[in-house]
Structure 1
Amino acid sequence: MTKTHTSRSDIDRYLRVDHAGERAAQQIYKGQLAIMKNHAMGPEIQHMMEQEVEHLEAFETLLNERQVRPSLLDPLWGAAGFALGVATAAMGPKAAMACTIAVEEVIGEHYQKQAENLGEDEASLKKIVEKFRDDELEHRDIAIDHDGENAKHYDMLRAVIQRGCRTAIKVAEKI
């Protein structure tokens, strides 16, 4: 059975957390570029960052149109994302790509759950969420193709980053 209506509280929560996540994502890539802009991966990271900026701008527009407040912790999401990007890039290109894999897997799952929960009344938002999900999974695939899974301590790095992402999602939905 297809859901026909999405509650206002669900929409508020989705937009708030998605905006926060896109803020962090574009900052992760900015942090990686601060370290790796002259590396062979620089153009790929730049491409991924540009897509995240498009996503962020789309959610800023949606927040304004629907009069939803952003996360009160918006500056924190940006700072944390930048720090994560710098730290993983400083560990090397494979660690930077491991970070991308970890983050984009979680975000892909997150957007998929949202798409499944959006009602028929939110077909346009569902289309946006599905497109952004596909972009995030493309970023994950790029990172896999660039040896992210071969980073030193990959399993631990992935687990820690994913736990942080899932925790940030829960917090940003509410605050």
Structure 2
Amino acid sequence: MRKLSLLDKVLTEIDQSLRVVHATAPTTERPNPAADIPETAPLNDAERDLVIRLMRINHTGEVSAQGLYRGQALTANREDIREQMERSAMEENDHLNWTEKRLQELGGRKSLLNPLFYWGSFTIGAIAGKIGDKWSLGFVKETEDQVIKHLEEHINRLPPHALADMAILQKMKADEQHHGEVAMQAGGAKLPFLARKLLMPLMSKVMTKSTYYV
């Protein structure tokens, strides 16, 4: 197998970004957690609007995760780290497709800001990978911790009879916890205090607040 040139890699990442934002990205083919859950009671208009907004946030979070993992895989030094990032990206694609399907079922739409968040996250991931694998992995852990926090918040805000949405978010939370643990086991370093307590929460807040509306 020939080694990919820089142009090959750039074209591959552009293709991947288009699949994530505008089409269907490759997945692990795991079953949708909401597939066999019956609807016990229909959502009223206010509940449906809330669930759509929450699912839009989570969908954009997965778009951002794709960008992050792809950027990190591109610049990772160790081959095993690169493979781990690519596997995690595939699992995040499952989340991407589950949330998009639920948005379609509810009559909602994806965020218009998805291309911006994808390439912003890709850039951050590529820079983190270039700095060093231990910091890149530490960045994964902190990112997953932020995702888990807003997933827990969303789970608590869901209407009690939104069982399909609950199942999706619970499975996403379990996967994010696993990704964070695997990153630290692979040699991730704890990020500096300012990055953990200021930068990462700020980035998370910008994404969640903007995509709630746009």
What TM-score do the two structures reach when normalised by structure 2? 0.73
Q: Which amino acid aligns with 2:65?
A: A
**2:202 corresponding residue in structure 1:** 163
Q: What is the rounded CA distance, in whole Å, between the counterparts of 2:68 and 2:148 in structure 1?
A: 16
Q: Which amino acid aligns with 1:172?
A: T
Instruction: Give the alignment of 1:1-175 within 5 angstroms.
Output: 7-36=47-76, 38-150=78-190, 154-159=192-197, 160-175=199-214
Ranges in structure 2 where 5+ consecutive residues have no aligned partner: 1-40
Higher relative contact order (CA 8 A, sep 6+): 1
Cα shift at 1:116: 1.8
Ranges in structure 1 where 5+ consecutive residues have no aligned partner: none
Alpha-carbon displacement from aligned partner over 1:99-149 (angstroms, at most 9, x marks no partner): 111111011111111112222321111011000011011111112223323
Number of aligned residue pairs: 170
Alpha-carbon displacement from aligned partner over 1:22-52 (angstroms, at most 9, x marks no partner): 0000110011111127533122212211111
Q: What is the rounded CA distance, in whole Å, between the counterparts of 1:136 and 1:115 in structure 2?
A: 15
Over 3 Å counting, the alpha-carbon distance change for 1:51 and 1:134 in structure 2 is same
Q: Are the equivalent residues in 1 in contact too, given 2:146–2:200 (CA < 8 A)?
A: no
Identity across matched positions, percent:
23
Q: Which amino acid aligns with 1:170?
A: K
Q: What is the rounded CA distance, in whole Å, between the counterparts of 2:63 and 2:132 in structure 1?
A: 23
State the structure with more CA Rg: 2
Q: How big is the alpha-carbon RMSD for the aligned residues of Structure 1 and Structure 2?
A: 1.9
Alpha-carbon displacement from aligned partner over 1:44-63 (angstroms, at most 9, x marks no partner): 21221111111111112112
Between Structure 1 and Structure 2, which shows a larger proportion of helix residues? 1
Give the SS at the match of 2:80: coil
Q: Are the equivalent residues in 2 in contact too, given 1:99–1:161 (CA < 8 A)?
A: no
What TM-score do the two structures reach when normalised by structure 1? 0.88
Q: What is the rounded CA distance, in whole Å, between the counterparts of 2:103 and 2:163 in structure 1?
A: 17
Q: What is the rounded CA distance, in whole Å, between the counterparts of 2:158 and 2:206 in structure 1?
A: 22
